[in-house]
Structure 1
């Protein structure tokens, strides 16, 4: 349970009582908890995206290699003709 507001706090925040502050603290703690959960979810999403980028990079490399092979074969075919 929270202690009573100090006279200075009571003067600065006359419309707020200790219950309001306790509720606000609980609300902020919940927000921090949810934010932590979202950050964990974001980490998982980032890891998935990194893996996807790696796979796509490999696919692009394979495509470049295949294009180079085809270009070589086309050039060889032109030379034969």
Structure 2
């Protein structure tokens, strides 16, 4: 974190403000992540896409992968964070 101020008091105030902002952002991120990964079944729905990322997979995109991709896009675009 870089804080440019003229006095020590300004530096402390600016650092506190930046720390609060960072803390709020991290809490929001954790909340959204917890909500997105709350149900194990939601991650299991992504298995066809995760299988494409495995080492010895030829990486063929089939109809099941497309359906899964569409479901994930819909879920993420309508997530309540």
Q: TM-score, normalised by structure 2?
A: 0.42
Higher CA-based Rg: 1
Q: Which has the higher helix share?
A: 1
